Structure 1
């Protein structure tokens, strides 16, 4: 059966342009009632206007879909709560949240200001948490929810000049891991999308000759799958230019050192064994690692 969002309500943050707009239009095409959230600021988060969100709503409605605009700044908890109230007043439930809103303040770390750090972390990490918290208990009460965080290769692997952005994008990965555990009993699935797309966020970091292959619409199918009833949970899906893959954090088997051998020199001498990824595993929660280390100690 084809994936459908008939009778579902979807909130997409940062949906006035780029990836968020692509997601919102496709959710509507597949039957969802969509809340098009966009603060309307510039790429660095300054300014603000409802025009972009309203234009997307007009496009949805022109195609026969259902949508409303919202101008909440995801950093402001009161505005986020008001967005959720607006959604419930209009549609009565919330099935899907796509945390897509973002800004950039790129600068090498030694030159970065505290304000540049705070602004980016606030939108990407705290903003994602604000929106998720606002819908979390609603999803628990209805025993259903799908949440997609937007991470980045800057967080997974790192990029020069993006310490603030990368740290925030790694943070939403950690948020996903815990919410996957906490939401499981209430059928709330939480995943991350890591997009590669030509948007105003990436226009000066992607070579011009590559931009034509990186239409945001090729990321959207991955987002819709992660937001569907059929979705798995606790995955990082990387998507772009028609390519789709997953990234996982794997842990090596490692070694056990007897008490008298627990020295920096011993670690240096056996570094090759410690970093040998043969037989590496993916742990599902922090306690899995703790139990592994306890078992090694007991065997030792």
Structure 2
């Protein structure tokens, strides 16, 4: 994992040009959670525990990968490095046994889960709370759920910021630090979990881009880092130029929103190997970057294409 020694602290994100609240945060300044609301109308209000942070991982270089692991990658891991000395190895996983928030192994190493049983409105704070629990928990402990905390560190406050080195797995064997005894309850649980995994692969090592075999069809799901309106305009330019697909055997089908980012989706030829989409995806990224760089007003054809693309948004289930 690439490391960057500058850490994003909450206090660095808040202008201090007014009277602070009791916790030192100016109530008229933007809330440090990233919601875009003023602090007094967000986490400084009485109903803070019910608020939803639209972009929980905003500001992190790994935002798109975190969204992908949270929403649709079945089995994957990535090492984490935090701003604290003498800590055991920390591994972020897509999902842990029983969808636990965290667990510690016998050697003290830590596993964190993104796909959890219950969560608050701020996934970043949830993961940070699970990590802080694990650092103090001792070996062989499990944290099933995280409470609905409205204060405390967020992931942005703890990590050395940088891209995630994600490894996609065919099974959940990484759950275990020793091989499960055949026929044991642990082995049977692992077998059941493995049977539910949809084959998945990273595409061209592009952040947030994953091929998945969903059974009847294969898809490319690609979490984009840009603002939604900007992506939509660029996609419209490509659609009007008939450059929206990824080549033969592909079809753009729509997009969905996940944690404040847009996720375009393509149907793909299921018979093609995942690696066969690496070059088409890289070529599409070049076309998209050129479209993103254009500041010309959309033409009539591009506006019609944008309207059609907007009509193809859906909800991931």
What band does the TM-score fall into relative to the shorter chain?
A: under 0.3
Give the TM-score normalised by the residue count of structure 1: 0.27
Higher helix share: 1
Give the TM-score normalised by the residue count of structure 2: 0.26
